Structure 1
Amino acid sequence: MNKTLLRKGIILPSGAIGKDKINLVAGAITQPFAEMIWVTTGGDMETINRLTDVLVSMNTPADRGKLFKIIKMLYGLLGLQFSEEADPMDQDPAVLDYFIFSFTADFGEIIRDYIAEK
């Protein structure tokens, strides 16, 4: 069992993943990401839809690690600092699976809110 994930409460002592903790971390990093995507694209839905398609289509066991690296790279390109809490999420396949799921769901909700405000 990964000691870093255990220490951070991402994996529970029972060995189960801490879904509440993962949701909290994903929610915290998704908001600034979605905001910067919205601002830098000027709300261009074609670009946002392409990004969403990448988030969804790469969320497979074979590509999930690459997707995590792409998300981190996009953070840097947007001038954002990637969270230390989120950084080790790729160290366990089940954690990464749930993290990407939560991140993508949060991203979609935030973008829908921006569209509704438009």
Structure 2
Amino acid sequence: MPHPFDMISKMHPPREAWKLKVRVLRPCVVPSFGNHEVPNSIEMILLDEHCEKIQATVKKQLLNRFRDHIVEGQVYRMAYFTVVSNHGSYRVTSHEFKLVFLHQTTVIAVDEDVIPKT
């Protein structure tokens, strides 16, 4: 029987239909450049059961949809992302790529402790 979840280490573009079971580490609301009172994005690290990490971004347009549903330390089933190159000044993992949430992205909390806490 195939493993129902993908491994972070295998993620690459252009595929978007990835299914992950991950723990959220260090979610951080990033303020807008011109107005620090207005949030611009949420940046976080996702950790899978193999201790692989990847950065994920929720852009401004989707903040209201995901902000209250993503809790540090919680394990989630997540699916459907854009996978993009991980370059630039705000790089928090060594993974070649990072994930960007889409309107189709699903985030479902699960009661599971198989995934390490760090």
State TM-score, norm by structure 2.
0.24
- Would you tell me which structure has more strand in proportion to its own residues? 2
Max Rg structure: 1
State TM-score, norm by structure 1.
0.24
- Higher RCO structure (Cα 8 Å, ≥6 apart): 1
